[in-house]
């Protein structure tokens, strides 16, 4: 049992809660739950897991979310886990600390390292440390090696290192007699508190506002003053110039924006207005299973590529269309026709069009999955996939299984990480726990959006989804029967 009244949500909490039928850890006495860097937790798709953990905490708890940034799109998700939320803003929302003097410069890629050496010579000493932020792991290691060759005792930190190595690096950097320079990716942008860090250098420009705020926030902490420099090249980083300029203006650092950076920002804004460029992303797009090309295995990617090439040869899609777009909308654009009222001549015309297109295709191309449906849609014939699941498209099938009324052991059986991981590996189905547990004396308020505990399933085919549902129901029934049989024994031990 947990006897403390304060608990921080982190680590494999759900795993621990479900071990030994919940006998290892109980959160029933927790009255104060804290989530640090909450915006990134919700953005990375952990909302269902957070809800599952909070459901195990007493309902009269106080929940506190901390973060220096909280975009509106993420705040909407966070509010679903709160009751009667109160927002407390210190300074400003997504605004860098006013205790940091910030400078923005246009520095070309080939000149960045020389400028870095100049700044390190000004700010590195026995009492002051410097953090250099870069965009990639490769660049972090490259800049780190270059600094070593120039005599700077440095460290590197990025997501490619093991957790033990990262912890050791941070510990060494915090020591007063440790290295004075840390080259890091944005993995060090949050949660790192080094009192002796007096300067932050953004060697690579931050790609969104929140990243800038958190990076700059590594200095000027606890009533101390700090300084930061941000390099922006005029090439691929020009799209980040408006972000840096905006961040510095909101932090009342207008006088420290170089004229070149301001001109670069204005130039990029003009390109956006003319349609020649697009704004950089917000950085908050985290989500779970996407079923897009980034999550396909090699065989699936090859099959998709072959199908796309066949469709191009058949004249069904434009070769210039974005391959990563919505396949259902871009592959074939069906004409909006009223099939109920079409004349026989229209049907004959459609059939004629089908034969004309099919005549140009080989038997192998016609045998590709979805090719026949594509031909029908091409000539304006609507296709009913006959799916038994609601809310589905050609490669995304969704189903829900209510588990609220099953015994506790059965619910735990199908929601523990071991089971959900196995289901995803064997059936390629994403399993997410949603809703809230309602005991026999409670009923959900549907008007308020309350729902009983259920599993939300997503898969790429109806067959896979159906097989996964059968497996989940088998586990539920098996565990329910086991619990009932155990209850009939009447004793704790069996005599053989």
Residues 423, 369 contacting (CB under 8 angstroms): no
Are 415 and 368 contained in the same domain?
A: no
Phi-psi region of 83 (alpha: psi -120 to 50; beta: other; left: phi over 0): beta
Asked whether residue 384 is domain-assigned, the answer is: no
Are 358 and 403 contained in the same domain?
A: no
Mark 410-430 as b/e (b = at least 16 C-beta within 10 Å).
bbbbbbbeebbeebeeebbbb
Residues 232, 239 contacting (CB under 8 angstroms): no
Final residue before a domain boundary, out of 47, 79, 111: 79
Asked whether residue 287 is domain-assigned, the answer is: no
Q: What pLDDT is stored for residue 288 in this prediction?
A: 42
Cβ-based neighbours of 323, under 8 Å, separated by 6 or more: 293, 308
Are 234 and 351 contained in the same domain?
A: no
Final residue before a domain boundary, out of 378, 405, 428: 378
Domain of residue 441, CATH code: 3.30.1370.10
Q: What pLDDT is stored for residue 329 in this prediction?
A: 40
Rounded to an integer, the average pLDDT of 268-278 is 88
Query: How is residue 406 annotated by DSSP?
Result: S
> 98, 102, 122, 123: which is closest to 221 by C-alpha?
98
Mark 367-388 as b/e (b = at least 16 C-beta within 10 Å).
ebebbebbbbbbbbbeeeeeee
- What is the CA angle 297-300-301, rounded to 5? 85
Are 120 and 20 contained in the same domain?
A: no
Rounded to an integer, the average pLDDT of 384-389 is 47
CA dihedral over 331, 336, 342, 345, signed as positive or negative: negative
How are strands ordered across the β-sheet holding 430-434?
397-402, 454-459, 430-434
DSSP codes joined into one string, 315-351 = TSS-TTS-TTS-HHHHS-------GGG--HHHHHHHH
* Phi, psi (deg, nearest 5) at residue 276: -90, -10
Rounded to an integer, the average pLDDT of 104-124 is 95
Asked whether residue 432 is domain-assigned, the answer is: yes
Confidence band, pLDDT 50/70/90 cuts, at residue 334? very low
Final residue before a domain boundary, out of 273, 288, 315: 273
Q: What pLDDT is stored for residue 37 in this prediction?
A: 80
Domain count, the chain: 4
> 41, 32, 89: which is closest to 63 by C-alpha?
32
Q: What pLDDT is stored for residue 56 in this prediction?
A: 84
The C-alpha atoms of residue 69 and residue 431 are separated, in whole angstroms, by 30
Asked whether residue 124 is domain-assigned, the answer is: yes
Rounded to an integer, the average pLDDT of 233-250 is 93
Q: What pLDDT is stored for residue 230 in this prediction?
A: 96
Cβ-based neighbours of 182, under 8 Å, separated by 6 or more: 129, 130, 131, 132, 154, 155, 156, 157, 169, 173, 188
Quick: pLDDT tens for 345-381: 554 555 555 555 555 555 555 555 455 555 555 555 4
175 has a pLDDT exceeding 70: yes
Are 261 and 326 contained in the same domain?
A: no
Asked whether residue 283 is domain-assigned, the answer is: no
310 has a pLDDT exceeding 80: no
Domain of residue 55, CATH code: 3.40.50.300
Q: What pLDDT is stored for residue 360 in this prediction?
A: 54
> Residue 117 is part of which domain span?
100-273
Most confident segment among 81-90, 281-290, 408-417: 408-417
Are 138 and 260 contained in the same domain?
A: yes
Q: Which residues pair with 181 in a beta bridge?
A: 130, 154
The C-alpha atoms of residue 157 and residue 334 are separated, in whole angstroms, by 51
The C-alpha atoms of residue 206 and residue 232 are separated, in whole angstroms, by 9
Asked whether residue 288 is domain-assigned, the answer is: no
Residues 39, 284 contacting (CB under 8 angstroms): yes
Positions of E strands within 31-157: 32-36, 62-66, 100-106, 129-133, 154-157
Asked whether residue 464 is domain-assigned, the answer is: yes
Are 146 and 260 contained in the same domain?
A: yes
The C-alpha atoms of residue 209 and residue 228 are separated, in whole angstroms, by 15
Are 372 and 401 contained in the same domain?
A: no
Q: What pLDDT is stored for residue 257 in this prediction?
A: 95
Q: What pLDDT is stored for residue 122 in this prediction?
A: 93
Quick: pLDDT tens for 68-94: 887 776 777 777 778 888 888 887 778
Are 29 and 150 contained in the same domain?
A: no
322 has a pLDDT exceeding 60: no
Are 249 and 316 contained in the same domain?
A: no
Asked whether residue 197 is domain-assigned, the answer is: yes
Rounded to an integer, the average pLDDT of 382-405 is 67
Q: What pLDDT is stored for residue 281 in this prediction?
A: 66
Are 327 and 244 contained in the same domain?
A: no
Are 468 and 323 contained in the same domain?
A: no
């Amino acid at each position: 049992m947990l006897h403390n009244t304060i608990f921080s949500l982190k680590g494999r909490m759900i795993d621990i809660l479900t071990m030994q039928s919940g006998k290892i850890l109980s959160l029933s006495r927790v009255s104060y739950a804290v989530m640090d860097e909450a915006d990134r937790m919700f953005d990375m798709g952990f909302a269902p897991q957070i809800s599952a953990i909070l459901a195990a905490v007493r309902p009269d708890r106080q929940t506190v979310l901390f973060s220096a940034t909280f975009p509106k799109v993420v705040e909407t998700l966070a509010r679903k886990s709160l009751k009667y939320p109160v927002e407390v803003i210190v300074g400003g929302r997504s605004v860098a600390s006013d205790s940091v003097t910030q400078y923005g410069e246009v520095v070309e890629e080939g000149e960045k390292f020389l400028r870095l050496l100049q700044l390190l010579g000004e700010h590195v000493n026995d009492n002051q440390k410097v953090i250099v932020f870069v965009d990639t792991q490769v660049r972090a290691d490259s800049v780190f090696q270059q600094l070593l060759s120039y005599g700077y005792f440095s460290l590197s930190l990025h997501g490619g290192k093991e957790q033990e190595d990262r912890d050791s690096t941070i510990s060494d950097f915090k020591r007063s007699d440790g290295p004075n320079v840390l080259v890091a990716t944005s993995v060090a942008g949050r949660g790192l508190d080094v009192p002796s860090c007096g300067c932050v250098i953004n060697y690579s420009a931050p790609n969104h506002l929140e990243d800038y705020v958190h990076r700059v926030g590594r200095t000027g902490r606890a009533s101390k003053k700090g300084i930061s420099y941000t390099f922006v090249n005029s090439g691929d980083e020009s799209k980040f110039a408006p972000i840096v300029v905006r961040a510095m203006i909101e932090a009342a650092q207008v006088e420290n924006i170089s004229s070149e950076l301001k001109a670069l920002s204005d130039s990029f804004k003009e390109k956006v207005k003319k349609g020649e460029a697009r704004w950089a992303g917000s950085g908050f797009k985290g989500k779970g299973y996407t079923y897009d090309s980034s999550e396909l295995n090699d065989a699936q990617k090859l099959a998709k590529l072959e199908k796309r090439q066949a469709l191009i040869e058949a004249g069904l899609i434009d070769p210039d269309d974005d391959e990563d777009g919505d396949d259902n909308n871009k592959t074939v654009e069906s004409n909006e026709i009223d099939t109920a009222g079409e004349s026989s001549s229209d049907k004959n015309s459609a059939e004629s069009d089908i034969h004309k297109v099919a005549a140009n295709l080989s038997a192998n191309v016609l045998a590709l999955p979805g090719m026949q449906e594509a031909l029908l849609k091409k000539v304006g014939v609507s296709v009913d996939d006959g799916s038994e699941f609601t809310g589905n498209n050609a490669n995304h099938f969704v189903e829900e299984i209510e588990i609220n009324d099953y015994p506790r052991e059965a619910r735990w059986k199908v929601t523990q990480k071991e089971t959900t991981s196995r289901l995803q590996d064997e059936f390629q189905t994403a399993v997410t726990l949603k809703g809230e547990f309602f005991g026999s004396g409670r009923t959900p308020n549907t008007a308020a959006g309350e729902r009983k505990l259920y599993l939300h399933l997503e898969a790429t085919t109806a067959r896979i989804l159906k097989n996964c549902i059968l497996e989940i129901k088998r586990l539920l029934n098996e565990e329910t029967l086991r619990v009932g049989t155990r209850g009939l024994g009447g004793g704790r031990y069996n005599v053989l």
